[in-house]
Structure 1
Amino acid sequence: MVSNPPYSIHWEGDDNATLINDPRFSPAGVLAPKSKADFAFIMHSLSWLATDGTAAIVCFPGIMYRGGAERKIRKYLIDNNYIDCVIQLPSNLFYGTSIATCIMVLKKSKADNKVLFMDASKEFVKVTNSNKLTEENIRHIYNWWHDRKDVQYICQLVDASAIAEEEYNLSVSCYVEQEDTREKIDIKVLNQQIRDIVAKEQVLRDEIDRIIADIEEDGDHE
């Protein structure tokens, strides 16, 4: 099952007293906020998911860390081991929005009690003013998901207990270490370079002083 529901739209929520008893939403014990129906779509998809099925849902990134009812629904999904993977996508992929969206992968029958967090934000090619996933990019993402292993700076397989310790925050950046691409500076080399610059400046200063002294001496002889 693949779904790309609208992001953070309004819905009835708890204005409709019957929804809390709706079998799609009642298991979580709380409804998605009226102003943000994202988890209503997710719970709906989960309710229709076959026992051996897989659902991939494109999500607004805010639902991964916002509090209140959304946190309670994330807790339900994690505690019941329904979340298989969270994938951070590149920004500017979809028409009408430049935000970096995510994919939440759901399963009802998992072999472990872990969630794979994947940072695929660099898997794209630039096309005019937008970004695009190539076949190669898609293959990389699929293989990382399929292999379900730690890959430095890309994938981290995290126990549900560790997610609970993070207050059920499902942001990929919370679990996948970011590569430091800043230039590495050798302080010893830098210090020697500074010494060399200071020494050259002193040589130049001495030469200028000598020239000025010669000029002043010539002036005195006139």
Structure 2
Amino acid sequence: TKPQHWDDEPFELIVSNPPYSIHWAGNDDATLINDPRYSPAGVLAPKSKADLAFIMHSLAWLAPSGTAAIVCFPGIMYRGGAEKKIRQYLVDNNFIDCIIQLPSNLFFGTSIATCIMVMKRGKSDNKTLFIDASKECVKVTNNNRLSDDNIKNIVDEYTSRAEVKYFAHLASFDDIKEQDYNLSVSTYVEAEDTHEKVDIVKLNAEIEEIVMREDELREAIRNIVEEIEASK
């Protein structure tokens, strides 16, 4: 609500890490819906969650060929109400270029697994790349850190926009619309199943063997008991 760059915009590149889920005036200020930064979406971010107001602000300051990368609270990717309407505006107008899921415990002071929303005004296609980089980190004491290799893997994938199982998926506009404008990476990138694979046939054979062994033991015990009773 107090922009500092009226005389400097637009920008070719915006990198931002706005505060998460802070309160703002929202609908309590009747002038905000007419603000050229917010009016295109036709709705304001909730009063208790200004996250998408920051995103709309950055988008308004973006040059026609510019790119914005904004660190986001994950809830804005799937919550309903006004936030869903703003996501729909961003998707319908082809501004969302990529969503990158980051690891948890990456930032000091919060354990939240945040994500990065990359926006462009001049996209060459109408697809959105989803990258699951939740495992792209190295552990340092109680926190995780992005190494140079981790960053390279993410940037290389962003550049190539290739389909990589368990890591990246390039979703069409129709894919996102079909998911009701949910932008969570987990909706589009399948998680790898790390559970131990069970051989059902082998397991069943082992169970049958155990049951047979139990029957043999019961028979042996029965014989011993009968011998003891016969000797009395």
TM-score class normalised by the smaller sequence: over 0.9
Alpha-carbon distance in structure 2 between the residues aligned to 1:198 and 1:68: 57
SS in 1 for 2:193: coil
Q: How does 1:62-211 map to 2 (within 5 A)?
A: 62-211=75-224
The aligned amino acid for 1:37 is A
Aligned partner of 1:57 in structure 2 is 70
Q: Pick from 28, 38, 41 the counterpart of residue 15 of structure 1.
A: 28
Q: Pick from 26, 44, 48 the counterpart of residue 31 of structure 1.
A: 44
SS in 1 for 2:18: coil
Superposition deviation, residue 203 in structure 1 = 2.2
Superposition deviation, residue 208 in structure 1 = 2.2
Q: Deviations over 1:114-135 (max 9, x none)?
A: 1111111111122211211111
Superposition deviation, residue 204 in structure 1 = 2.1
Q: Please list every run of 5 or more consecutive structure 2 residues that lacks an aligned counterpart in the other structure.
A: 1-13
C-alpha RMSD of matched pairs (Å):
1.3
Instruction: Provide the identity percentage.
Output: 67
The aligned amino acid for 2:206 is Q
Alpha-carbon distance in structure 2 between the residues aligned to 1:192 and 1:174: 38
SS in 2 for 1:93: coil
Alpha-carbon distance in structure 1 between the residues aligned to 2:205 and 2:184: 43
Q: Number of residue pairs matched?
A: 219
SS in 2 for 1:52: strand
Alpha-carbon distance in structure 2 between the residues aligned to 1:180 and 1:138: 24
The aligned amino acid for 1:182 is H
TM-score by length of 2: 0.90
Q: Deviations over 1:131-190 (max 9, x none)?
A: 111111111111111111211111111111221122111111111111122222121111
Alpha-carbon distance in structure 1 between the residues aligned to 2:209 and 2:165: 39
The aligned amino acid for 1:109 is G
SS in 1 for 2:43: coil
Alpha-carbon distance in structure 2 between the residues aligned to 1:66 and 1:205: 60
TM-score by length of 1: 0.94
